Amino acid sequence: MSIRPLHDRVVIRRQEEEATSAGGIVLPGSAAEKPNQGEVLAVGPGRVTTNGELQAMSVKVGDTVLFGPYAGNSTAKINGEEVLIVSESEIYGVLEA
């Protein structure tokens, strides 16, 4: 199964959670913070402006993006994997190597 987001929505796979703190302390699953970056799996066609034109998306499939801790309260299970669905405006930036 695949997903095709609508309008300015982006489907993101969160990066794996850190199991240890910076000091080397092993964190239980409930204490670990959810990662705030992930890989873009799918993007919608873009946002329709007030004059009816389609504004192109700034992210593309494969980008690693940074988003806020409360971004996208919408999650879905696709092929047994939990993904995050956010609006493009909730993405802070694209991480580049």
User: Which domains are present in the chain?
Assistant: 9-95 (2.30.33.40)
- Tell me how far apart the alpha carbons of residues 4 and 7 are, in angstroms, rounded to a whole number: 10
Alpha carbon distance 51, 78 (integer Å): 35
SS3 of 44, please?
Answer: coil
Structure confidence by residue, pLDDT tens digits, 34-59? 678 899 999 999 998 899 999 999 99
Tokens describing residue 46? 């873009």
Helix H segments across 1-97?
none
- Count of H-run helices and E-run strands, the chain: 0, 8
- pLDDT for the residue 2: 80
Residue 13's CB is within 10 A of a number of other CB atoms, namely: 14
- Which segments in the chain show pLDDT lower than 70? 17-22, 24, 26-34
Regarding pTM above 0.85, the answer is no
